[in-house]
Structure 1
Amino acid sequence: MKTIILEGSARRRGRTAELVEFLRLRLPGEVTVVRAYDTPVSPCRDCRYCLSHPGCAVKDEMKDLYPAIEGCDNLIIASPLYFHSVPAPLKTIIDRLQPYWAATVRGDEDQISTKRGALLLVGGAPPFEGQFLPAELMLRGVLSDLHASCEDIIRMDDADRRPLPQRPEIQTQLTALAQRLSTL
Structure 2
Amino acid sequence: MFGITPVGWIHTLGSLPAIPLAGYMFVRHGRIVPRSAPGVAYLVAMLTGAVTAFLVAKQPVSYGFGAVTILLLLAGYGVGHMPIFGRSGRYLEAIFLTMTVFLLMLPAATETLRRVPDGHPLVTDPHAPLLVGTQSGLLICLVIGLTVQIISLRRQARDVAHANHEAVIAE
Output the TM-score relative to the length of structure 2: 0.30
Output the TM-score relative to the length of structure 1: 0.29
Higher strand share: 1
Higher helix share: 2
Q: Of the two, which has the highest radius of gyration?
A: 2
More contact order relative to length (CA 8 Å, sep ≥ 6): 1
